[in-house]
Chain A
């Protein structure tokens, strides 16, 4: 049981980051490789605010707002010039990798390369459930995830903004012809993704008890795996995928002797591979059907 909780704890962090990846994918049809570094950068901002004596929730919210602005501005200044989703996807991938390096080194220069300490946002308390200890932190994180999944579900399915985001991703030209303001919609989409990334970063840091320039990289590999597992277009899938990856990694490493901590990454990815062989769109993803 203890391992289950540990797995959930790790999984919750992958899940929130996977959610950020899904949001940007649904809101822009693009994969942004700089997503994790953007999250790291905004987490440093949150940490700076925290260090200045601002309470954690206010620091997180502010970092999310700043993340939103950075995401929107990056889209407007950089991605639009490369033609947006209808532009050359390779060029955009390369630019996001460039951004990755800039943000990574930039954070090193501004905040130094030594990890900075971050407290657990929900405190250090633990509660006993079914004879095993679970940190209040993890319960809090799962609660935040539930709120986010419902929130994004409502956003995409029930609001006009969500409809606009989906229309723009499906067919940018037709969306414009229907009167959707494509550029504004995509700016908001990138902002949303970066904002949720800031939240993901803050929670990752708070889980690791520290923030450093490389903190998102391993987590991001798991998060991509989680998003793939759940299906790239489903917020619920991202969260379930994240939790499954966390659980599987923890349980297999714990119970299968030949797979030690050095092979932590393996079980999750084997699972992703198997799922994709059976269901290429992921567990919760929608298959793209197109008739000629």
Chain B
């Protein structure tokens, strides 16, 4: 059974409708990518899924209807969202950022997970008591992902992790995402413009254009698709 089932999702900001009846699925343990250009509705999709904006349509998480739930409740149900621009707490240091990430978990688990992620991301381990705002974009992205993982999610939502990062750093971020998925079995829904990297780590993907899904398939199928190649792979 699929972990996340979305049917006829519509959402927007005030009178402006951005998503125009979206259907998508994420199975447990899967990496799914949503490709789309600027303004296609990628960020809105994730904001709708984590309850940050009002929605119409059905959102089912592991059989439970979760449409209309607030972000703070969805975290407790196992959805973690790394927003665009990373959303770290600039004035808090690395460890404090992680503690906020573990807000919904018991204290003993939080302490254990902090050590685990600081070991997994050595760059963060070296900067335990440095404020997040003073770190580089790549470090902040790692911190944002570690922060999200602190809630021990079943589904990780990532909003353009490559944004503003150098190619090598982006590669590293995607390697991490892939590793986390393999080791923890966390399902990942990532929205991206960088189709090359995203399709390399994803099992399946969707193509989003002006609020609608216009193509879907396995990562291999999408990478071979002419329209996708022209629009998103630049070949």
Contacts and interface: CB of A to CB of B under 8 A. Distances in A.
B76 interface: yes
Given A179-B75, A289-B131, A289-B133, A164 B90 contact: no
Contact of B72 (A179, A286, A290): A179
B204 interface: no
B99 interface: yes
Given A171-B87, A175-B100, A180-B103, A291 B136 contact: yes
A170 interface: yes
A289 B93 CA distance: 12
Interface string B146-159: 01101100000000
Contacts of A81: none
A129 B86 CA distance: 57
A180 B100 contact: yes
Nearest to A290: B133
Interface string A168-185: 011101111111111000
Contacts of B100: 163-164, 167, 174-175, 178, 180
Contacts of B137: 291
Given A164-B103, A167-B100, A288 B83 contact: no
Interface in A154-170: 160, 163-164, 166-167, 169-170
Given A174-B88, A179-B103, A166 B96 contact: yes
A80 B71 CA distance: 17
Contact of A166 (B72, B88, B89): B89
A177 B87 CA distance: 9
Contact of B104 (A171, A179, A288): A179
A163 B72 contact: no
A4 to B, nearest CB: 36
Contact of A179 (B52, B91, B136, B151): B151
Interface residues of B, number: 32
A167 to B, nearest CB: 4
Contact of B88 (A160, A171, A179): A171
Contacts of B88: 171, 174
Contact of A291 (B71, B83, B92, B133): B133
Contacts of A286: 91, 131
B86 to A, nearest CB: 9
A83 to B, nearest CB: 14
Contacts of B136: 291
- Highest count of chain B CB atoms <10 Å: which of A179, A288, A291: A179
Contacts of A178: 75, 100-101, 103-104, 147, 150-151
A288 B101 CA distance: 21
Contacts of A290: 90, 133-134
Contacts of B71: 176-177, 179
Contacts of B148: 177
Contacts of A169: 91
Interface in A241-292: 286, 288-291
B81 interface: yes
7 contacts: A163-B103, A164-B103, A170-B92, A175-B100, A179-B103, A288-B91, A291-B135
Interface of A: 160, 163-164, 166-167, 169-171, 173-182, 286, 288-291
Interface of B: 50, 52, 70-72, 75-76, 80-81, 83, 87-92, 96, 99-101, 103-104, 131, 133-137, 147-148, 150-151
